[in-house]
Amino acid sequence: MQVRLTRMITVSLAGMAVLLPVTACSSDEPAAGGAPQPTESAAPAEEPTPENLHPFTGRPAERLRPVLAVKIENTAAGKPQMGLKSADIVYVTQVEAGLTRLIAVFSSKIPAKVGPVRSARISDLHLAPMFGKPAFAYSGAQTKMLPFIAEASLFDVSDSRVPGAYYREPGRYAPYNLFAHTRKLLAGAPKASKAGDIGFTFGDPPAEGGVDRASYSVRWPAARFTFRWSEAKKQWLIWQDGKKDMAAEGGQLGASTVVIQYTKTERSQFHDKNQSYTPLVNTVGKGSAIVLRDGKAYRARWERESEKGGTTFTTQSGEPMNFAPGQVWVALASRKPVTP
């Protein structure tokens, strides 16, 4: 992990990833191949951070822990979600019918439980290499996608590979009641990569270029997010489809930094039985972004040279676009919402 100074202290992480979502299955198929249920064991040894700052959040961290990525339901039927408050990074990605799902990335703080856990998409597999070889939790995938999962840079800790890590949450109905114990998920991937540089930088905001914003909205064909600045909480509180986005643990979800990363969305090779195609979100290349922090909106540029590389964010003048220390939400969106 490279650490550098930009005005204040800046942690350079290498960048975000390509998200090429895969077709949402109208019925989630279990991934093939079962594996023995892992026993709970001690977490892998942690590595010290060079500057005691975590590369995903910019907050103090004495050790770097393994990375766990979880595919999370994001419709009203699956709310409130559990565990999102503890995530370092939350990605919002478009899936079939213009809806969205989340990919929650955990490392600096691991909650006891997460969910509802849902099916994988091809976009998830393009995201994984940025984190090395993380543990990836999901529930089911299209049959024709299974070979892609087998070759992906990840440790498969799905419900078919590590069944003992999953359980049905009382008071909810299938398929929105599948949750997982994170300790058992990580026990199923003892060699998962530890957190490293993914291109993010943290520190003081740019000296100029920010515009005061009380709120900012971003749309997908069948979903809308609004981020509203709370001076009291020093967070962008989150609304989805006009309703407060609440956490199962209590309170409203919110982030220190929100990135709206504009990408090109097109049709992928995958579709469900109703011929609803999965969007392909192109995140290798260059593009524009809006970065929300400290009650201001900044125009920015993003660049990602390769799938294994990180995504860097810069200001209009080419300086590093520092994020505020804390949780980061990255919304992968299109300037003009489209259902391919």
Q: How many domains does the chain have?
A: 1
175 CB-near residues (< 8 Å, 6+ apart): 28, 116, 118, 139
pLDDT of residue 151: 95
37 is a domain residue:
no
Q: Where are the beta strands (DSSP E) in 76-158?
A: 89-94, 100-106, 113-114, 135-137, 155-156
The reply to whether 340 falls in a domain is: no
Top pLDDT among 282 and 60 is at 60
Q: Which distant-in-sequence residues (6+ apart) come within 8 Å of 36 by Cβ?
A: none
- For residue 35, tell me if it sits in a domain: no
Does residue 42 have a pLDDT over 60?
A: no
Q: Which two three-digit tokens encode residue 321?
A: 């676009």
Find the mean pLDDT for residues 142-156.
93
Of 42-51, 54-63, 142-151, 174-183, give the lowest mean pLDDT range. Answer: 42-51
Report yes or no on 39 lying in a domain.
no
Q: How far apart are CA 192 and CA 156, in angstroms?
A: 10
Q: Rounded to whole angstroms, how far apart are CA atoms 237 and 17?
A: 24
Among 181-185, 268-272, 336-340, the range with the most confident prediction by mean pLDDT is 181-185
pLDDT digit string (tens) for 68-117?
999 999 999 999 999 999 999 999 999 989 999 999 999 999 999 999 99
Domain assignment present for residue 40? The answer is no
Confidence of residue 126 (pLDDT cuts 50, 70, 90): confident
Select the more confidently predicted residue: 237 or 126.
237
- Give residue 91's domain range: 3-26+48-333
SS3 334: coil
Burial 108-144 (b: 16+ CB within 10 A, else e): bbbbeebbbbbbbbbbbbbbbbbbbbbbbbbbbbbee
3-state DSSP call for residue 4?
A: strand
pLDDT at res. 35: 39
Checking if the pLDDT of 291 tops 70, the result is yes
Confidence band of 43 (pLDDT split at 50, 70, 90): very low
Give CA angle at 264 (262, 267), nearest 5°.
140
62: in domain: yes
Determine the Cα–Cα distance for residues 334 and 54; give it in Å rounded to an integer: 30
141 in a structural domain: yes
Q: Three-class SS string for 200-264?
A: CCECCCCCCCCEECCEEEEEECCEEEEEEEECCCCEEEEEECCEECEECCCCECEECEEEEEECE
Q: What is the pLDDT of residue 270?
A: 79
Confidence of residue 28 (pLDDT cuts 50, 70, 90): very low
The SS3 of residue 100 is strand
The average pLDDT across 230-246 equals 97
User: Within a 13 Å sphere around the CA of 1, how many CA atoms are in the beta-carbon half?
Assistant: 28
Q: Are 316 and 209 in contact (CB under 8 A)?
A: yes
Query: Residue 147 above 60 pLDDT?
Result: yes
More confident residue, 50 or 157: 157
What is the pLDDT, as a whole number, of residue 285? Answer: 87
Query: Of the candidates 177, 176, 180, which has an alpha carbon nearest to the alpha carbon of residue 166?
Result: 180
Residue holding tokens 């970065």? 291
As a whole-number percent, the residues of the chain with pLDDT over 70 amount to 85
> What CATH number does the domain containing 314 carry?
3.50.90.10
In a domain, 33, yes or no: no
What backbone torsions phi and psi does residue 314 show, to the nearest 5 degrees?
-130, 160
Q: What pLDDT sits at residue 46? A: 54
Cis peptide leading into 116, omega within 30 of 0?
Answer: yes
